[in-house]
Structure 1
Amino acid sequence: MANPYSGREKIFSIAPMLDWTDSACRYFHRQLTRKALLYTEMVVADAVIHGKRDRLLGFDPLEHPVAVQLGGSDPAKLAEAARIAADFGYDEINLNVGCPSDRVQSGTFGACLMKTPEVVAECVSAMKAAVSIPVTVKCRIGVDEQDPEEALDRMADAVFAAGADALWVHARKAWLQGLSPKENRDIPPLNYDRVYRLKQRLPNQFIGINGGIQTLDETLQHLNQVDGVMIGRAAYQNPAILADVDRVVYGEDAPAPDLAEVVAAMADYAERHIANGGRLGHVTRHMVGLFHGRPGARRFRQILSSDATRPGAGPEVLMQALAEVDLSAVEAA
């Protein structure tokens, strides 16, 4: 795959989300959009090196383009983890410099790395030397009492000098003390203008924006200012918006995917997943919001939240849930 950042193409991506964007989730999202860049959950470099790699890094080829997000702060370990991930076939390595969880802080990586951009630069340089695929960074605009004007500029200048292909910016501060990870996704105010100013200062670098973006209309507005848009919870909770990404963002003239066919494809996927020792609920938990706001959506959600989680549940439960949805209303939508 060619480096999508080299041509300064506009990119729409689905954010890495811990406990959410596993392989089943990404396979589901890929049924809805062929073009969006998908991200794994954050995987700690030590786990990649010493853990069960197939479980941590395995993915279906259909998921391409897909990036792996790594967590860590040791350049040598990150370089080794990046090599391993590249050998698995990932299209991009992304370094997490934004997660504020206690676990991440205790490992001295994630958002606390906003305080040490020189360390992030060393990590980027080591990973760039280890792999031929793009290496990118996802960060905040600052942490704690940092001035976002200075903090974000220092981070951007450091990582681009080290060879980073792109910088994705969650347009909020992270507060390492006093706010939970969940609160850090909502309470610190959004500051999109700060990210826009970074792009204006660095017109030749790829700058993507993340945080609180709900719709494709908002996405297009941001793409007038920056190079990429990353949506997280809105895409997860109302995945049907992804069905319009290829047309609205990328200008494709192909029709949007048929949601009934998407469910049928996921039933086939679930059958394979169960045959390999998984459970139906591992797959369907990502799908409960597919028909959000449409006739029958409540019953669809109830079946996936109850029947699909029972021991021994098979893919026929997914098709039973689909039967509760008024598909004519879905087509009209």
Structure 2
Amino acid sequence: MMDWTDRHCRLFHRQISGRALLYTEMVTAAAVIHGDRDRLLGFDAAEQPLALQLGGSEPGELARAARIGAGFGYGEINLNVGCPSDRVQSGAFGAVLMERPGLVADCVAAMIAASPAEVTVKCRIGVDDQVPEEVLPRFLETVAAAGVTRFAIHARKAWLQGLSPKENREIPPLDYALVLAMKRAFPHLHISVNGGIDSLAEARAFLDAGLDGVMVGRAAYHAPFDILGQADAEIFDAGPGPDRLEVVERMRPHVARHLAAGGRLHQITRHMLGLFHGQPGARAWRR
């Protein structure tokens, strides 16, 4: 979700659901250490609950970045072991780390030692010619032994060569059954499923099947109200949320502050295009 789930997007999504856990874009550990931290890590307190997703493969760097992130107020620091992009591979992190579970264990152990925030991992079921049924249990066992108890598993392999990041989200077949099997094999771990889930009903079905969570990316971005609009009531047993027009009204103060600070309207509204997805007048809203 790089270039998508920035602070404006997250604040918008928070107006729809007060309970769903939101994630930042992936930020590299080196950028956190050496870059503009306020720009990379800053967020509105209203976005909480919010997790920071880090990319990296050097334990010392990740430990420093996790400590910095916790200092900014993030309650969860998530290590990305799933992104298949060429840029990530060249930095020896992301999905390529599925081939090095021992290194991932070293990384999360260092992060846990450095950060009071919970450290979690997002991973794939395997990469390239790996056999997921063999690789994934070993990966979970190794990383869990280092102290991680929460995993979000994208139920697809990642092909590091031959497929683009977009194709890696669509072409490798989904294996939800394997993720469910991992929950049965590791009942003490908190396991969420990710990949190809495009309705709240599907999310509910996975929870009813025994998984602890469901991570939804693209569907929640393109049709946010369809996914998040009833999430508080149906998933978290909370009261009904706002309707679409109320969400628009809730965003007005944020828009006003952003414009007053010299920002551009499009930086916020580009994330809101799908609010009226499937509704009469949706095209007019997008315009």
- TM > 0.5 between the two? yes
Selected match of 2:181 from 197, 202, 208: 197
Selected match of 1:127 from 108, 111, 114: 111
1:10-25 correspondence to structure 2 within 5 Å:
17-25=1-9
Deviation at 1:250, TM superposition (A): 0.9
Contact 1:97/1:138 (CA < 8 Å) preserved in 2?
Answer: yes
Secondary structure at the residue paired with 2:33?
helix
Secondary structure at the residue paired with 1:167?
strand
Structure 2 unaligned residues grouped into runs of 5+ = none
User: Which string of whole-angstrom CA distances, capped at 9 and with x for unpartnered residues, describes residues 219-259 of structure 1?
Assistant: 1111123111000111100011211000011111x222122
Task: Give the distance between the partners of 2:74 and 2:138, measured in 1 at CA.
Answer: 28
Selected match of 1:234 from 219, 239, 244: 219
- Aligned equivalent of 1:250: 236
Count of matched residue positions in the alignment of Structure 1 and Structure 2: 285
- Aligned equivalent of 1:56: 40
Secondary structure at the residue paired with 1:220?
helix
Task: Give the distance between the partners of 1:258 and 1:217, measured in 2 at CA.
Answer: 19
Contact 1:32/1:257 (CA < 8 Å) preserved in 2?
Answer: yes
1:6-45 correspondence to structure 2 within 5 Å:
17-45=1-29
Is 1:144 the counterpart of 2:138 in the alignment? Answer: no
User: Which string of whole-angstrom CA distances, capped at 9 and with x for unpartnered residues, describes residues 153-180 of structure 1?
Assistant: 1110111100013011000000000000
Task: Give the distance between the partners of 1:155 and 1:283, measured in 2 at CA.
Answer: 39
User: Which string of whole-angstrom CA distances, capped at 9 and with x for unpartnered residues, describes residues 92-111 of structure 1?
Assistant: 00000000000000000000
Task: Give the distance between the partners of 1:276 and 1:153, measured in 2 at CA.
Answer: 49
Secondary structure at the residue paired with 1:114?
helix
Contact 1:65/1:91 (CA < 8 Å) preserved in 2?
Answer: yes
Task: Give the distance between the partners of 1:275 and 1:151, measured in 2 at CA.
Answer: 52
Secondary structure at the residue paired with 1:39?
strand
- Aligned equivalent of 1:111: 95
Selected match of 1:78 from 33, 37, 62: 62
Secondary structure at the residue paired with 1:142?
coil
Selected match of 2:282 from 286, 291, 297: 297
Structure 1 unaligned residues grouped into runs of 5+ = 1-16, 303-333
Q: Which amino acid aligns with 1:288?
A: L
1:179-218 correspondence to structure 2 within 5 Å:
179-218=163-202
Looking at CA atoms only, which structure, 1 or 2, has the larger radius of gyration? 1
Task: Give the distance between the partners of 2:262 and 2:102, measured in 1 at CA.
Answer: 44
Deviation at 1:276, TM superposition (A): 1.9
Contact 2:232/2:240 (CA < 8 Å) preserved in 1?
Answer: no
- Aligned equivalent of 1:306: none
Moved more, 146-155 or 97-106: 146-155
Runs of 4+ in 1 over 2 A off after TM superposition: none
Secondary structure at the residue paired with 1:143?
coil
Task: Give the distance between the partners of 2:149 and 2:4, measured in 1 at CA.
Answer: 26
- C-alpha RMSD over aligned residues: 0.7
Q: Which amino acid aligns with 1:83?
A: R
Secondary structure at the residue paired with 2:23?
strand
The two structures have a TM-score, normalised by structure 2, of 0.98
Selected match of 2:162 from 178, 188, 193: 178
Is 1:269 the counterpart of 2:254 in the alignment? Answer: yes
Contact 1:134/1:165 (CA < 8 Å) preserved in 2?
Answer: no
Secondary structure at the residue paired with 2:134?
helix
- Aligned equivalent of 1:14: none
Secondary structure at the residue paired with 1:174?
coil
Task: Give the distance between the partners of 2:138 and 2:264, measured in 1 at CA.
Answer: 46
Deviation at 1:286, TM superposition (A): 0.4
- Aligned equivalent of 1:280: 265
Q: Which amino acid aligns with 1:251?
A: D
Contact 1:75/1:123 (CA < 8 Å) preserved in 2?
Answer: yes
Contact 1:35/1:246 (CA < 8 Å) preserved in 2?
Answer: yes
Q: Which amino acid aligns with 1:281?
A: H
Secondary structure at the residue paired with 2:193?
strand
Is 1:260 the counterpart of 2:245 in the alignment? Answer: yes
